[in-house]
Amino acid sequence: MADKVQVLRETDDDARLAARLLVRAARYMALAAIDPDTGYPSASRVLTATDLDGVPVILVSDLSTHTRALLADGRCSLLAGEPGKGDPLAHPRITLHCDARPVARDKPAHARIRERFLDRHPKAELYVDFADFRFFRLVPKSASMNGGFGRAFALPGSDLVIALPADSDQWLDLQKRLKSMTNAANDLAGRFGIDKTHRWRIGGIDPAGLDLVAGDVQQRHEFGRIMSSAEEAMHYIFQSPN
C-alpha cells in the first residue's frame, strides 16, 4: 500500500473538475458488474447520462446479464474517458466504484431521469418505455482518475456529486424552456466561450453547470458555484456578461 500511495498525486481542485467533466461528458462507459451465475466480474458497454446531482444513470434491459447482475448485487464500477488517436494510456480516464440503485417507474425521479437521459440520447426514445427497460442510478462511492502516465488521483465519491436540489421539478422546467427557445444552445455556447462551430442543443442543466450536445460531442460549462435554485441559474445564464 505504501507503494500504491507513492504513485498518487494529491487531489486538487483542477483534478476534481477534470474528474467531473470526464463523467459528465461521457456518452457511454464500460460497466463492471458481478455475473450472478458465475461470480466473475463482467464488463459491458452502457450509454450514460447524469442525474441533476451528477450521479451517472444508465438505461438497460431486464433481458441483459448486466441488469440481472445489478439487481442481484448493486456493487459495480464505471470506466469513463475514451481514447482518441495515439497511445490509449495517454488519454485521461476515470474509474468510479458505485452502488447501483434501480429507479422505480412510479417515482418522480423516473420522469426527471427519463427526460435528462433522452436529451442526451434522443434515439433511446425508441425503447425507453418498453416494459423490460429500466433506469439505474449508479451512485459513486470512490473514484480513481488517471490523467495519463504518472498522473493518478484518488477521489471520494463526494467530489463527483452534489446534493439533489429540492426544487428538482423547476430544474426540469428550466431545461424544457431552454430547449424550446430557438438558438438558446448556440447563444449560450457563445456566452460561455464554447466552440460555436457546432450546432448545439441543450443536453441538460443542473445546479453545477450546463451541458451542450452536438452529435457525438458534449461540452459542459461549470458555473463555478452551486446554484441555490433553478431561478438563480436562469438569471445567471441570461445575465452573464459576454
For 43, the 3-state DSSP assignment is strand
Instruction: Look at residues 19, 36, 124, 133 and name the one whose alpha carbon lies nearest to residue 78.
Output: 19
Pick the closer one to a second copy by CB: 10 or 85.
Answer: 85
**Residues composing the chain:** 242
Region binding a second copy by CB under 8 A among candidate stretches 75-83, 159-167, 196-204, 221-229: 75-83
List the interface residues with a second copy, window 94-113 (CB under 8 A): 95, 97
- Decide: 107 and 94 in contact? Cβ < 8 Å: no
For a second copy, the binding residue among 9, 12, 14, 28 (CB under 8 A) is 28
Q: Are 60 and 103 in contact, with CB atoms under 8 Å apart?
A: no
Q: Supply 168's cell numbers.
A: 428538482
d(CA 55, CA 57) in angstroms, rounded, equals 6
150-169 residues near a second copy, rule: CB under 8 A: none
Q: Is 88 in the site for a second copy (CB under 8 A)?
A: yes
Question: Measured from the CB of residue 85, what is the shortest distance to a second copy in angstroms?
Answer: 6
Which of 11, 17, 44, 128 binds a second copy (CB under 8 A)? It is 44
Where do the DSSP E strands lie in the chain? 28-34, 41-47, 49-50, 56-61, 75-80, 93-103, 133-146, 152-156, 201-206, 209-214, 217-222
Binding string to a second copy for residues 108 to 147, with x set by CB under 8 A, is what? ---------------x--------x--------x--x-x-
Give 34 or 234: the residue with its C-beta nearer to a second copy: 34
Within 10 angstroms of residue 176's Cβ, the number of other Cβ atoms is: 12
- From residue 147, how far is each of 85, 95, 98, 237 by CA, in Å? 16, 11, 20, 30
Report the nearest approach of a second copy to the CB of residue 137 (Å): 16
Residue 239 CB, shortest distance to a second copy, in Å, is 37
Judged by CB under 8 A, the stretch of 2-10, 111-119, 183-191, 203-211 that binds a second copy is: 2-10
Q: Which spans of this chain sit near a second copy (rule: CB under 8 A)?
A: 3-4, 6-7, 27-35, 38-45, 47, 62-63, 65, 75-79, 82-83, 85-89, 93, 95, 97, 123, 132, 141, 144, 146, 215-216
